[in-house]
Amino acid sequence: DVKVTQSSRYLVKRTGEKVFLECVQDMDHENMFWYRQDPGLGLRLIYFSYDVKMKEKGDIPEGYSVSREKKERFSLILESASTNQTSMYLCASSLQGARNSPLHFGNGTRLTVT
Amino acid sequence: AQTVTQSQPEMSVQEAETVTLSCTYDTSENNYYLFWYKQPPSRQMILVIRQEAYKQQNATENRFSVNFQKAAKSFSLKISDSQLGDTAMYFCAFMGTSYDKVIFGPGTSLSVIP
C-alpha cells in the first residue's frame, strides 16, 4: 500500500514565523499535491508538482511556496505565517498518466497560527 | 474552470438504511473522471468509488454505488445498508485533463445513527 507521511500532526506557530510542512511518499509517485481543508470549503489546491523541481500553482497559492528536490518529498512553506493560514493541510500523491489512479493522502497537519 | 458542488452540508441516516449524497459539477470537458472520497473522524482520506465519464454504466463497490447523469452533470453516491463505520465526511471530486489535478467539493458530513 502507498504510504504518505506528513511530518507533524499538530503545529502551533506564531505570526510572522517561517513554517515548513513536510510530506514523504514511498511509492515512487510522480504527482504530489498540497491541499488546504477548511469547513464548508472542502479541499482547495495550493500547489502541485508533477516532477522533481517542477511545480504548478493551484487555486490558492498566495502566501505559500513549495519545494521538490527529491521525487519522494514535497515541502510546503509558509514564508511568513498569518492567522488566516490556520487550517488543516493535506498532502497527497498519485501516479502520473494513470487517469483513474486515485489520490493517496497523508493524515494531515493541523496548523494553528497565533 | 471546473467546479464541484455538494448541496447537503450535513446528513444523517439510521443504521441499515439507505442514504444518497448529491453532487453536481460544471465542466466543458467531455472526458473526465469523478470520485467520491471518504474522510472518517481519524482524518485519513480514502477513495470510495470512481466513475469514468465515457462509461455509461454506473460504478458500484459493494454497498456503494453512484448515479451518474452526464447530461445533467450530476454524480450522486448511494450507500446501502448503512453502517456505523460509514460516519464520515464525504467529498465529491472531479479530475479533468490538466496534469491529473483533482477538484473537490465542499463535502457532506454523514452521521449514521444506531
CATH number at residue B101: 2.60.40.10
Model pLDDT for residues B21-46, shown as the tens digit of each residue: 999 999 988 889 999 999 998 778 99
Residue A105: how many CB atoms within 10 A of its CB? 24
Mean pLDDT of B81-101: 89
Q: Across-strand partners of B25? A: B4
Among partner residues A40, A43, A88, which is closest to B9 by beta-carbon distance?
A40
Q: Which domains does chain A have, with CATH numbers?
A: 4-113 (2.60.40.10)
Which pLDDT band holds residue B82 (cuts at 50, 70, 90)? Answer: very high
Section B78-92 average pLDDT: 97
pLDDT < 70 regions, chain A: 1-2, 98-100
Domain count, chain B: 1
Q: Is B72 helix (H, G, I), strand (E, B) or coil?
A: coil
Q: Quote the CA–CA distance of A84 and A92 in Å, as a whole number.
A: 22
State which residue of chain A sits closest to B7, comparing Cα positions: A40
How far is B18 from chain A, CA to nearest CA, in Å? 24
Q: What is the mean pLDDT of chain B?
A: 93
Closest residue in chain B to residue A94, using alpha carbons only: B100
- Residue B101's pLDDT is 79
Q: What values do phi and psi take at A94, rounded to 5?
A: -160, 160
Give residue B91's Cα distance to chain centre: 6
Q: How distant is the Cα of A11 from the closest Cα of chain B, in angstroms?
A: 16
Q: Residue B54's domain spans which residues?
A: 3-113
